Each structure stands twice: as structure tokens, then as C-alpha cells.
Structure 1
């Protein structure tokens, strides 16, 4: 090795071990990249990462550190957290790749710079590919036979000479090279692998394949009936495939119903690679052209197809998770129906309908079972049992799960309501997805050890109406049926996203610390499952919490946990009325100053006089006087105007019914009110009171162009729809939200 090359290698090697200065450079690089990607000031990104590193949760930062972050919302904070994690892992991988190449003595300053400047993991892996230890390949076998010099001679593209004559020099029985032709083929294998390992070539081919490729599907068995029949002879440009279609095709392939091909015309790819390799006329041009074609067909195309399909799947999964997360959030934030005694019904055929009466706090009062549905058809006896429960507990609402036998049960309940003239009764069908998961869980066994699974399910169904959030947090988020293809996506990523949504919803609403279950408390900022159990145990042993400050007596609930959770926990009838607001204890002194400024007592919280005075305050002028930031003061003033307010109260109440609607009753043009049950990429499913939800296709959501259904509707929305078409055979109803002219 020349003296200059040795010096260069030593210089590069010195950079592999990071100094504090280099670490600072990397940190700064990460900050700038995140700021650039998310279009945020670097200072806000740096502050956010600092707060996260200190153990602050995203809900806490979003609500109580607005001055520090410039009022970034939860989604922006999470984007920063996710990108920071990715880029830190990327930097770690860069260092690892640099070290591995350096140990081979092949690290140049140019390669080092290229790895350092990479912004995606795929770029780093492309650069590392030529140096990765490979299993036995045709190229490695050719190298063992001593054919690298011949490959180098061909790549030098001599203008004179003869390929076969040159190859003849490498014929050797000892090395297993039997002929000049065999030597040329071995050299071509080496060249093909070099081309296939070229990072620039791979990046271009990958991009070209994504932009110009066609995904084609066909049936493995054309006569087989399946839900994938639309894909039995189907093709679509890769770049235009919507996420739900990608996941459907993947599932069909996984279930061995479909065969899937990614096709792209090879001519342009051959031309591009040729421009990178060929340098004009030479005696080896034909040989190199053959090596290029072999490199693409045998080595590049199969791996690029896998990479492109993986990228397609990754993007589709992200979209599916995003849709599920938004639906879940809207479902969790459905308004609670308070102050009502509810009868929950878990429908069934042979085993009977399980009944559960719960009081207005969700406490179980009585369990029963009736058999009004086939094959038993004990309608008269069932009516007698339910009427007795209604009279005994003054039941006002009946909630029916939407599972097996739900519509027969609905018909029965509607008849029953029609017979009762002494009181006003209504019913509602709720989505019971996940109720069986909860009923069989350890949590349900602990809560109701003496009940069987179906009886617990009836209680869960009733409570879903009274407080959807408190009940649904007991269920694994992915078991709540408001997604699309949630079982086809990366489960770890799905769980992380849904956990974030549940945490966000719980902290947005706030939690009554004196009634909350451990499962609900465990989603509060700063509280894990152990702390949640400790809080409940303390409450059981010592009675209700009288103040937020008392939380600090809970075992293992330290200063940091108290800081994170205190503002999200509510105490309704405690020592301080501020404990029933979202105002953090750290701001109580600000409230004291404010009330002195207004010459009012804290006992006047909630009074008309206070509300009137608060409406005329200017936060920008008042904040410096009170020693607080403007965003925090705005939140304080809002909380003081509506103490004890539940933000879910702003959402429309569910539709209650007294009579049943059959699909046979529908006709095109009929106007109906319905509740949006699920929003997916191609439309929204709406409960209009029949057995199956009707579909409003994306094209029927609005008179104007709709990019995604979520731009128009959300889970829980009460909407006006018109019947578009009815398929009695398949039990399907097409709906429109476009008012007929």
C-alpha cells in the first residue's frame, strides 16, 4: 500500500471512535434533519427532545409545557420522538457499518463520507452491500478459482485483444476451470455481482421500479370461490395502488389464493446500467452487455422487487394504522350517557341472551338469562323476566351487543318496548367488538370472579354506553373493531400507535381518581400498571382521595410521577375545587394571584360572576403580571370558565331507537339518520338500524372531491343518509350523503 493510502486509512479509522465533539456534531445533524423534515424551528425540536429525555410524557409536554415547545401538539411531539429514535438508530448503524468496513481495510474517505451523509437506512445498507460477508455465490466460487484478474481485465474494456485468448490463460484443472468459456462465465459472474452491489445502480433501479412497475395478480386456482375474486386477473401501477388494496393483495398471497408479480420493462434499466458501466467501443462490449443483463435479471430484479413490495407494504401499514388510530380515538371520545340505569344484553341463540342491569355509576345490580331467540323461542318467559328487571330497577335504556342473534334480539326488544306504556324506554345497539376478549381476561376475572364469560360481556356492553372510554380501555386496542386490515400490519407498530391514542384520549378527558379502574389509571401520564394498582389499593385502604397532594402518599409514586399525572387526575368533592379541573398544581399559585386580582374567593369558582369577569380578560396583558406564560394562562382561564367539564359533552349523543328497521323496509331514496361505525380508505360504514351497516362509498360522501373519507366523517358522527341501492341476497345496502335533487 502506498504511503499516501496508509495515511488516508489511518485518518478514516480515527473517526470510527467517537469523541465528545463528534457526538455533538451527530446530535446537531439529527436535530437539523428533524427540523427540516417536520418544518419546525431547530430550537423547538431540541427543547422537545430534552424534555423527553428528562422523562416527561407527550401528554404532559403538550398540555403543561407549551411555552417551552411553542405550543406543539401531541402529534407533532410524537413525530419528533419517532424521527429522533429512527435517526439515532440510523447513526448507530452508520458507525457499525463504518467499523465493519474499516476492519476489512477497505474504508476510504469517499466511502466514509457517503455513509455519513446517508439519510435512510436503505442507503447505508446499499453502501455496505459490497462489503457484507456473503454466503456462497457464483461470484465467490469464481473468485476461489482465481478469476478476479480476468474480471478486472474485462472491466478495463480493452480496445484490442481477444476475450477467449485472455480467458485461456485461466484454464486450470487444479482450480476447476475446464475451458476458456467457463473462465469467461466465471468472470461475468464476478462482474454481475459487482454491478448488483453498486449503491447508485440499486437506488436508481429501485426508484424506477416504484415509478414504472406494474403489480399483477392472478388466481392460483381460477375456479376457487373467495373474497379475492376481483384480483384473479388484476393489474395496477405500483405508485397508484391504494393502501387497502396492497394489504388485501398481500393477504390473498399469504393465504395462497393469489400469485403476485411485480413487472417492469427491463430495456430502460439495461440502458441505464450500460451507461454506468460501458465506456465506448471495446473487444469485451458484448461480454459486458451480457453480464449487465444477467446482473439485473438474476441479482438485482428479485431483491429490488422484494424491497419495493416491502416499501409498499410499509406505507400501506402506516396508512392502515393511521386510519385505525383515528377511528379508535373518535370511538373512545364518544359522549358518556350519564345518570341512567342500563340493561345490557349479550345476544345469543342456543345459550340464551345474558342480561346485566347496571346502575348510573356502572355498578352491577343483577344478572339474568333469557331464551327469546331460536331454537328456544321462549318469548313470553323472556318478556316477563325483562319487565320484572325494568320495574325493579327503573331501567331507562337497553343496550344490545351487535354480535350473533343481535337483530333477532333487537326485534324482540322493540316488541317489548311497544308493550310497556308505564315508562319511556329506548334501546341502542353497540359494537361489542372486544367484549369477549375483556370477558375472558384476568382483569374481568378479578372484577367479577363469580360470573361466567357471557355474563361479564353483558356488563361490558351496558357500560360501553355509560362511559365508552372507561370501559374500552380494558380491552386490547386492536380488538376494538374500528380498523381495516389491523391483523395484517406489524403488530408491534400497531400496538405502539394505539397505545399512544388511548393515552392521548384518557389524558384529554381526565380521570376521576376516586372511581377509576387500574386499567384506566394505567393510561394516565406518568402512571404505569404498578402505580395504578397502588393507587387503587391506597384508595381501598384509606378511603377516597381528598386532594391531589394526597397522591404523593401512594407507595412508589414519586415527585416525577406526581408532576406528570397530577393535572390529568380529577377529585370531584375534595379539599380544593381546583383539583377537579385540568389546572396543574404547579399553577395553583397563579390562580391565587388571579383571584386576588379579581377580588374574588376561590369558592366562587363556577359562578356566573366569575365567568362574566373571565370573558373580558386579556391573557397577553395579564400573563406578565401573574408571572406565567400566555398559553398556560389561556388554558387556566378556559378551565376556570368550565370547571368539571367533560370535553366529550361537545360530541353528539348516540341515536336511541324504539322500533326496529328491516332491510326489506328500505327503498332507494329513503332518508335515514345513522351513526358512523367505521371509516376506511374507500368509504364509511353507517349504522342505520338494520342487521348490517350500510356503506357510503367515498364517491358518495360529498358533492365535492374527497381525498379521504376522514376529511368528511368520523366514527360516532350522526349523519343523514339516503338509500342508494339494496342487495337483499347479500344483505348489503349502499348509502349516499349527497342529498337527492
Structure 2
């Protein structure tokens, strides 16, 4: 297999792009580094394409390795033919290879192997040959009676022979592929209740049928969970009679043979007992794998905008972690995220100390000049929001509040990371600190939490955890490296997502920083234990140092391009000091596309890299998240009872799923914009229309207070 050529064709890329990318990956370069600093070699492939290409490269290499392994195993048995070898090498999926290997795979003791031990294989061959058109079946079977081997009658001999034929039919790779395709195309997924009287969230599946090929991915995962929780029985109905007839037409060549009834019976047994149960499992696995891939993709696509939410800089924030019985935890953090104060108030049930809570919160707001209150969206959130909104009316200072997703805050609170950051602070207060800080810098705070716990996926605990972790880590890596990391403030958690930096090296960086006070130059990284030249090349461009010795250290310009950048600055009539002063914003009036091409030739550097250098010089310390939608800040509050059909409201997209989007409109329950109400145009994928964190206008369609459901539409809004 020519893997390079295969990737070129599948991804519709140029050969040099694939060759160079594969070479860079094999050299140990990370995807963020390749995407950002090797654009000339890759033809400017994005991090998303690079990750997809890497995943496919891994699959094809595994496929190639498995081809060689299967060929070796069959050859060792002495069963490898040139034709079989060609078929294996032509296989395009691992499934096809396994189908071809199936007849040669060492088996546990089966009915067929037992029959072979009894010496019945020659009788099976007689039946398969279909050459005897006359005579007596008893006479044909009698020579195979052997009481010592356990064959005492002619019928036992024929039964054993039929077991052998059934397994031969079952092991036929062409038959399995044919049946797999038929079942996938014509099969029906059927679900029934284990107990129809039991109430559950799976009631719509208590008597449910849908063509296998049409089952939506989210329904597959819901059905799997219902089966796992023992609410549902699941099976695949297939056109058995039709399939058996097709198998008979392919195996039976002489219906006049007197052994044909045994052959027909063997074919039917082979299908019903061996092939179909196996194919049913494969079909269910295929549906599950497809659904998991989609769920993982959705999770990754939701996670990215969540992490890339605009930071709220330069504001003192009060983190408000709502609760009932145990009280609401409060933490005030300054503009840099440093903890200033914390307390617990009890405005909610059962204590209902509303006025005491308002008084204490007002004092904290005045004492620390709080600008914004970040309220977690969990239990007692809306009750707390009403109290906060009422309190803000009586303040002399303009203070806003916003609702922040608290998903994962409790996970963080009890984590080793939180214990290291706040060893003397109660676990319950740490959640409030996290809520406040994730408003100030969502990315820096959310990287401390397992990505599965941030509340933007579907069925995340039901899907392949290894694949999910790998995908989500890739998303976090891309976000962290896209934004860049302040070397003098970044936590171990944040640093460990930087290109090339392991958790151990991240700890060493923080330890070194504590010893020296602060980094003044990127080159100081080379003094850190376990951070050699190769790691420095991978990570340096993504680490920022503001107010350091070299103004280029506060940009995304890689140290390997400093010489070119300085030549360019001088050529344009600027100095290094002008970078710090932000005077290079003016280069837009000097530089155009034609100039860039000319400069690139003169400086012997690639045009894409030079474009990036220009972009960085214009805006040192640039944060791409500043272009993202800002959070919705409120001073008032709505109750679900206030909602009426046709009202138009502004909300924040909290989660996007296959069937629509959930939007926070400022009441206790998020509303659902069904996929059919996302746009006036046909929408195939909700993510083509909205992303997590988007600020959207919605129209109320219906409100069900009893069930806590709100139907929304973005069509007319």
C-alpha cells in the first residue's frame, strides 16, 4: 500500500503536503507546532486537517501492519496462496482482513472441530461436492460410524458433517461481507421494554423500530444506555429468508444430488447459528462506533468555543456558588485572579437569611470594589440570581452579574491541583473561586478540569474513554497554543498543554519561576531540567513574556525567526522599542500583499511565515479570544412563570447536540432550539449555525413549567 498516495487522494491534497506532514510527525513535532510554524512545508494546513490526517495515517499504518501479520500467520500454517495474499494486501479495512483471516484463525473447540476430531471431514466434503445423484444415504454415511470416536449412528455422522459445513459457510469472507451489507441496508433495529410498567426516560423506545441505516447517532447511544441499565431489550431484525436463499444460490450447484437436503440444512444452520449472531454484534458495534465518533466530534466542537470564550480582563469578580442546605459559597478575586476574600451566606432554603446575606455581600462588594458577580448555574442558581438582582438595585455602584457554567467546579474543588493551589482553603470555597476565575480567563481555569466534566457533550460516560480523552486533549492543546501562554503566570495545568511540554516539565518550569522570581527571556527555558533544545523548539513560540528583555518574546514570532523579524523591523524604519510601544500598528499603510512577497524573497523566508510575523508585530500580546462574543451581563432576572409565547429574548448557547441547541435565557431551565427552528433554511448540522458561547436572540414557542421544558426558535427572532 502506498500510504502517502492514499492520503493524497482521500484528503485531496498535494503530494508535497502529505509527504512533508508525515515527515514532520515522524520527527516528533506536535500538531500545534506544525500548524503554526511549518506552514511552508504543509501548504498551510490547519490544525483540524492535520489531526484528521494524523488519525488516518495511524489507521492506515495499523492496517498495513495487520496485513503483514495475517500473511505471516497464514504462511506459517502452510495455507497461504498467491491469490489469498493479493486479497489481504488489497483489503481497505481491518474488518475485511479479519474476514479473510477467519478460516485460519485458531479456534476454541467448536461443534465443527469436534466433528473433525471424529473423522467426519471427508463426509462433509462429499456433501459439499454435490456429485452423488443416486444411491442410498445410509450407505454413504455408514463408513463414518466409529463408536470409539463417539459416532454411533449414520444420523450422528451426518450431523457432524453438517456442523463442519455450517462453519465453512460461516467463515467465508465473501458471504460475511455480503450479509453484513444486506443487514445494514435492509435490517431493522428493534427495541422493547424489559418491563412496560416501569417508568423511565427510555419510554419512547419501549416499542420502537427503525431501519438500521437510518438510526440517528444520538438515538443509538440512548438505546445502548437503556439496554445497559436493563430498561430495554435490543435486537436487529433481518430478511433471513432472503439471505438464506442467496446463500443457497451461491453454494448449491446441483439440487439433484441426494445429499442436497443436508447441504441446505447446513447453510441455514450456518447462517442462523453462526453468521447472523456475529453480524448482529458487528452491526451494533458499527452503529456504536459511528455514534461515538460523532459524539466525540460534537464534544470537541463544543469544547473549543467554550475554551475560547472571551476573557473578562481587569475586573474584580465575586464568584457565587449557589446551594440550598449548606449555604452559598462566596469568593472575591482581584483582576489577576488572586483570592481577596471568601465567606458563606444562607439566603436560600431552609435558612432563608436573605437580608443578612444581602448585607454581607454588599459589604464585600464595597470593600473590594467588585465589578461583576459570577453566579454558578447549578442547584439554587436562579433563586440566588433573584436575590443578587434585588440586592444590586440598592447599590450606589453599577455592578453586573452573569451566569457562569459551573460544570466541573466540584471536580476541581476536590482535585490535587486545587489542593496545591489553595491548601488552606476549604474544598467548598474552591468551587466559588473557580467560578469567579473562569469568568476572568475561561481557558486558564478550565484546563484544570477533566474536559469530560465541563458539561458540553452527550453521553460522554458511555463512549470510548480513550478516544474521547485523546480528541479532547487535542482540542485543548490547539486552543492553548492558539492563544499563547504567559510564562510568568501560567499554572502547571496550562503549561502542560503547551506544545512539547509534559506535566513533569511544566512542574519544573513553575518551580524554576518561583526560584528566580520571573522569566525575562525565552532562552532561560533552556536552563530548566528535562527541557532540551528539541522541546524548546516545540514550545518557545507559544510562551509569552510581557515586559521582558526582548519585545519579540511577547509575540507569537518563533525564536528561529527573530533575526528575520529584526531585519524586517529595521527595513521598515522601526526599532525594537517601537514594538513595545505598539507603534508597528502603522505598518498596514506600508505593507501590502505585493510587498510581502518581495520582502519574503529578500529575507529568504516563506510568505506564510512572514505574514504571521507581520500580524504578531502589529499587536504584541494579542489575544485572539478578544474577538469572541462577550458574556451577557444582567442586572435583572426572569422566572419561568414570566415567559410567554412570542417573547423575544437574548440568551447564551450552553450546549449544541445533534438535534439542536440548549440556550440559557436567564431562567432556571435552559431552553431547546430544535434543529428545525435554528434557521429558515434547512440545517443538516446544528454546528453549522451555532456554537457554545454564542449570544443569540430567541423567540419563546412554548413553556411547560411542570416538566421544566422551554421550546425556543431562532427563525423569527
Scaled to the shorter chain, the TM-score interval is over 0.9
User: What is the rounded CA distance, in whole Å, between the counterparts of 2:427 and 2:188 in structure 1?
Assistant: 49
User: What is the rounded CA distance, in whole Å, between the counterparts of 1:615 and 1:600 in structure 2?
Assistant: 17
Check if 1:656 corresponds to 2:629: no
Task: Indicate which of 638, 644, 668 corresponds to 2:615.
Answer: 638
Q: Which residue of 1 aligns with 2:453?
A: 479
Task: Indicate which of 327, 333, 337 corresponds to 1:358.
Answer: 333
Task: Indicate which of 658, 675, 680 corresponds to 1:703.
Answer: 680
Q: CA deviation at 1:160?
A: 2.0
Check if 1:285 corresponds to 2:280: no
Task: Indicate which of 555, 561, 584 corresponds to 1:581.
Answer: 555
Q: Is the 8 A contact 1:614 1:641 kept in 2?
A: no
Check if 1:110 corresponds to 2:83: yes
SS at match of 2:272: helix
**Structure 2 unaligned residues grouped into runs of 5+:** none
Q: Which residue of 2 aligns with 1:124?
A: 97
Q: Is the 8 A contact 1:151 1:187 kept in 2?
A: yes
Q: Which residue of 2 aligns with 1:599?
A: 573
Q: Which residue of 1 aligns with 2:709?
A: 732
Q: Which residue of 2 aligns with 1:5?
A: none
Q: Is the 8 A contact 2:639 2:667 kept in 1?
A: yes
Q: Which residue of 1 aligns with 2:202?
A: 228
Check if 1:452 corresponds to 2:426: yes
Q: Which residue of 1 aligns with 2:296?
A: 321
SS at match of 1:221: coil
SS at match of 1:136: coil
**Structure 1 unaligned residues grouped into runs of 5+:** 1-25
1:480-505 CA distances to partner (integer Å, 9 max, x unpaired)? 10001111100000000000000000
Q: Which residue of 1 aligns with 2:663?
A: 686
CA RMSD in angstroms comes to 1.3
Q: Which residue of 1 aligns with 2:248?
A: 274
Q: Which residue of 1 aligns with 2:36?
A: 63
User: What is the rounded CA distance, in whole Å, between the counterparts of 1:614 and 1:485 in structure 2?
Assistant: 50
Task: Indicate which of 27, 47, 55 corresponds to 2:20.
Answer: 47
User: What is the rounded CA distance, in whole Å, between the counterparts of 1:38 and 1:569 in structure 2?
Assistant: 32
Q: Is the 8 A contact 2:318 2:436 kept in 1?
A: yes
Written as runs of structure 1 = structure 2, the 5 A alignment for 1:540-579 is 540-579=514-553
Check if 1:72 corresponds to 2:45: yes
Q: Is the 8 A contact 2:652 2:693 kept in 1?
A: yes
User: What is the rounded CA distance, in whole Å, between the counterparts of 1:712 and 1:213 in structure 2?
Assistant: 33
SS at match of 1:113: helix
Q: CA deviation at 1:616?
A: 7.0
Q: Is the 8 A contact 1:685 1:693 kept in 2?
A: yes
Q: CA deviation at 1:159?
A: 4.5
Runs of 4+ off more than 6 Å:
none
Q: Which residue of 2 aligns with 1:402?
A: 377
SS at match of 1:484: coil
Written as runs of structure 1 = structure 2, the 5 A alignment for 1:251-266 is 251-266=225-240
Q: CA deviation at 1:249?
A: 0.2
Q: Is the 8 A contact 1:90 1:120 kept in 2?
A: yes
Task: Indicate which of 428, 431, 439 corresponds to 2:402.
Answer: 428
Task: Indicate which of 144, 147, 150 corresponds to 1:176.
Answer: 150
Q: CA deviation at 1:30?
A: 2.1
Check if 1:332 corresponds to 2:307: yes
Q: Is the 8 A contact 2:176 2:275 kept in 1?
A: yes
SS at match of 2:591: helix
User: What is the rounded CA distance, in whole Å, between the counterparts of 2:355 and 2:681 in structure 1?
Assistant: 52
Q: CA deviation at 1:345?
A: 0.8
Q: Which residue of 1 aligns with 2:274?
A: 299
Q: Is the 8 A contact 2:16 2:41 kept in 1?
A: no
Q: Is the 8 A contact 1:159 1:281 kept in 2?
A: no
Greater shift, 255-264 or 135-144, is seen at 135-144
SS at match of 1:488: coil
Task: Indicate which of 374, 381, 391 corresponds to 1:416.
Answer: 391
SS at match of 1:301: helix
Task: Indicate which of 361, 367, 370 corresponds to 2:342.
Answer: 367
User: What is the rounded CA distance, in whole Å, between the counterparts of 1:366 and 1:604 in structure 2?
Assistant: 40
Q: Which residue of 2 aligns with 1:21?
A: none
Q: Is the 8 A contact 1:147 1:186 kept in 2?
A: yes
1:689-740 CA distances to partner (integer Å, 9 max, x unpaired)? 0001000000000011000100100000000000000001111100000117
1:530-557 CA distances to partner (integer Å, 9 max, x unpaired)? 1111111111111111111222122221
Check if 1:380 corresponds to 2:355: yes
Check if 1:492 corresponds to 2:492: no
User: What is the rounded CA distance, in whole Å, between the counterparts of 2:330 and 2:704 in structure 1?
Assistant: 33
* TM-score normalised according to structure 2 size: 0.98
Task: Indicate which of 483, 501, 505 corresponds to 2:475.
Answer: 501
Q: CA deviation at 1:285?
A: 2.6
1:241-292 CA distances to partner (integer Å, 9 max, x unpaired)? 1110000000000001000010111122112212321223331333222111
